Chain A
Amino acid sequence: MFFTYLRRELRNRRKQTAVVAIGLAVAIALVMVVSSVSAGVRDAQASVLESVYGVGTDITVTQTAEPGEGGFGPGRFTFQKDEGKANDDGTRELSEDRLTTTRGTTSFDAAALDTVAGLEHVTGVAATLELTSLSFSGEMPDLRTTTEGGAAGGVVPGGEGAAGGTDGETGSGGSDETVQGGPSSFEIDERSVTGIDPTATAVGPLTTTEVADGRAFEASDADAKVAVLDAVHAEQQELAVGDTIKVSGTKLEVVGIVTSTTGEGVATASDIYLPITTAATLADLADQVTTLYVQVDSSENVEAVSAAIAAELPDTTVSTQADLAEGVSGSLSTASSLVSTLGTWLSAIVLLAAFGLAILFTVSGVNRRTRELGTLKALGWTQRRVVGQIAGESVAQGLLGGVAGVLLGGLAVLCVNLAGITLSGSTGTSFAGPAGGALPGGGAMPGGGQAAEGGAVVGPRQFGGGTGGGLTETVSDVVLSAPVSVWIVLAAVGLAVLGGLVAGVVGGQRAARLRPAEAFRSLA
């Protein structure tokens, strides 16, 4: 009788059933789309993070540079008056190579590796030395031929030093800015260099790379003068396996080229990879590291391990995947915040509206059926049976809405996936500083401040950018793929049923208050 009565009632008031079911379906579909897109954005963020931090990294440990420290300083190139070779046209040829820790970070004792490895729940740890190679080469005015004692004007336009050195396409390092001002002409070349332990392959930035040409590092490369290049960087610089590159004035043989496994044309975390001992020697940072990549046995233990590392290494910055995800910027970040704020609120509002609609219709149905329900009570139906009947009808409406919502939501998610929405995510930290400067000789520097990682000081006088902007940034394009999991489907149907249940409980309470004497209601 329960199901017969329920089926007949729902069929009899098709319009009401349809309105409630559609209302719930739209709400459920929206919740489903938001959940799926949210999961898709999370996956995209993970993908972007993996391209930088590698697969399986749960925690990274870095140390922020203090003002005045290596990774924080003004980064100026300083030349003496009589340095370089004098040319006939009143200029001097100057050049300098520098390999320092990446701006904003500093190195710390490599013993931290063993400290972290010894912690409970840590299953893998790898250390890297993440550096920035800067080289300055070009012609500058010979100060011995300029007016004594003065920086003769030439304010560099451009104000702030912007993020230098990052090509949006390649995602890391490698800028080539040629700047000319009056008689000066110079080039600043910036590349990101990462020292890798050739024997630690389970975790770290190289876990999301594959060898495109040549070979990867081997244990025998520990302190060899060899390098592995990022494929995008190699292509830009027209380098191939067997070629020689120069880092901090030292020649290194290119033994391999790697590409990212996270997407075609996506740059890996660094332009150049060196054996960590070689990198430390070149940067004069023996037994120092800049980053630890930590793998934890279970996601439940990430917070505990993170706290333990912070306690053991109080000067370091310990970041979990969640912290790192917050550092992802670009359209990926916009999508993430859009989904988490607007999407969630919109879902909540529509869901509430649908619940309200279901409740309203159920209560109105109970009011309309006062005599019918009173009659059932007069026939000896218990209160529980009458309330159960009303609640059952509501839950069935919810179930219908849930199934329709899952179909609608599935279709919407399919459309999102077919649309092939590409999200761009970048990771990294930029440090803007006052740039601009004064060039002797009155030359204006176009685009001043851009890529001005370090100005140039000739003799006692400064010119070129001030602190400029520093940035270590990786940009990745990820096609949004919104997954629909069984859990999302179950949760969607569950929500719809919950909506029906809430409406049923409210309507049922109204029915419970009915007296059987209501069966006589229409009588005088």
Chain B
Amino acid sequence: MYQIEKLTKTYTQGKRTVHALRDVSLRIEDGELVSIQGPTGGGKSTLLQALGGLDRPTSGSVVLDGKDLTTMNDAGLTRVRAETVGFVFQNFNLIPTLTAQENVETALVPAGVAQADRARRAVAALQSVGLGERADHLPDELSGGQQQRVAIARALVKNPTVLLADEPTGNLDEETRDELIDLLESLWKEQGLTLIMVTHDSAVASRTPRRLHIAKGTLKDRS
């Protein structure tokens, strides 16, 4: 469960002070599927980074399962990212030199999983996203949709409780987008994940039970 209180993030860009988040308060229950919409530069990604412990806010708190990520040291945040939170990025962010299976395995490396077990779990994760046959393909041998499936397999292979997806369908065509949202929905249901998804796409947002909107750093809950 996430409990976010008065989250503020400001940073300077040249001589300008940017207020990316302004006193954002929010509660997300375990197992929720939430979409966050908003215009470019409105604070969507900043909020997602704060939820994933990737960036430290200027003030406020982000409590995940009773632990405040804003006061946690770097080692603690690294552990949260390694064990609790999975990420899916708009550009897939796969390692270009590693095969699909090896890319999935990279998420198990921090947990110190033995190589044989790592390989077995990576193949299983790829099969769960329908890419069991493409395990030994390099990213540039896969389509955009397939690459994003690999990224999803990578995010879920470590069995996280939270999946944070930043514009997961942003680089995909409509058909592939729908397939991917179907996949995410089914995984969310099967695994009982808390799924938080940043998206521009209203068609994607409309499929989520809870829709948040963020603009100029201010959050509105439209659910």
Main secondary structure of the interface of B (DSSP, over half): loop
In this assembly, does B82 line the interface, its C-beta being within 8 Å of a C-beta of chain A?
yes
B54 touches A1 (CB 8 A): no
Give the residue name and chain of the A residue nearest to B86 (CB). A379
A379 touches B107 (CB 8 A): yes
* 21 sample A-B contacts, Cβ–Cβ < 8 Å, listed by A number: A1-B118, A5-B95, A5-B97, A372-B96, A375-B87, A379-B154, A380-B107, A380-B110, A380-B111, A380-B158, A381-B110, A382-B75, A382-B78, A382-B110, A383-B78, A517-B54, A519-B54, A520-B166, A522-B90, A523-B167, A524-B41
B102 touches A378 (CB 8 A): no
In this assembly, does B109 line the interface, its C-beta being within 8 Å of a C-beta of chain A?
yes
B167 touches A385 (CB 8 A): no
B97 touches A1 (CB 8 A): no
B166 touches A523 (CB 8 A): yes
Give the residue name and chain of the B residue nearest to A522 (CB). B91
A380 touches B97 (CB 8 A): no
Q: Shortest beta-carbon distance, A370 to chain B, in Å?
A: 11
Give the residue name and chain of the A residue nearest to B108 (CB). A1
In this assembly, does B161 line the interface, its C-beta being within 8 Å of a C-beta of chain A?
no
Please encode chain A, from 366 to 404, with 1 for each CB lying within 8 Å of some chain B CB and 0 for all others: 000001100111111111010000000000000000000
Q: How far apart are the CA atoms of A247 and B90 in the complex, in Å?
A: 102
Q: Which residues of A contact B32 (CB under 8 A)?
A: none
B91 touches A371 (CB 8 A): yes
Q: Which residues of B contact A382 (CB under 8 A)?
A: 75, 78, 110
Q: Which residues of B contact A385 (CB under 8 A)?
A: 109-110
Q: Which residues of A contact B98 (CB under 8 A)?
A: 4-5, 8
Residues of B at the A interface (CB closer than 8 Å) are: 40-41, 45, 48-49, 52, 54-55, 74-75, 78-79, 81-83, 87, 89-91, 93, 95-98, 102, 105-107, 109-111, 115, 118, 154, 158, 166-167
Do A520 and B82 contact each other (CB < 8 Å), given the known contacts A9-B97, A12-B96? no
In this assembly, does A165 line the interface, its C-beta being within 8 Å of a C-beta of chain B?
no
Q: How far apart are the CA atoms of A8 and B167 in the complex, in Å?
A: 29
Please encode chain A, from 1 to 23, with 1 for each CB lying within 8 Å of some chain B CB and 0 for all others: 10011001101100000000000
Q: Shortest beta-carbon distance, B9 to chain A, in Å?
A: 11
Q: Which residues of B contact A377 (CB under 8 A)?
A: 78, 81
Q: How far apart are the CA atoms of A4 and B78 in the complex, in Å?
A: 23
A372 touches B93 (CB 8 A): yes
B110 touches A372 (CB 8 A): no
Q: Which residues of B contact A517 (CB under 8 A)?
A: 49, 54-55
For B106, give its contact among A1, A9, A519, A522 (CB under 8 Å). Answer: A1
Q: Which residues of A contact B75 (CB under 8 A)?
A: 382
Q: Which residues of B contact A520 (CB under 8 A)?
A: 45, 48-49, 54, 89, 166
Q: Shortest beta-carbon distance, A101 to chain B, in Å?
A: 78
Starting from the known contacts A5-B95, A8-B97, A375-B95, 19 additional A-B residue pairs (CB-CB under 8 Å) come to: A1-B102, A1-B115, A4-B102, A5-B102, A376-B95, A379-B87, A380-B110, A381-B109, A382-B78, A385-B109, A517-B49, A519-B93, A520-B45, A520-B49, A522-B91, A523-B45, A523-B89, A523-B91, A524-B40
A379 touches B106 (CB 8 A): yes
Q: Which residues of B contact A379 (CB under 8 A)?
A: 81-82, 87, 106-107, 109-110, 154
Complex interface residues of chain A between 499 and 524 (CB less than 8 A to chain B)? 515-517, 519-520, 522-524
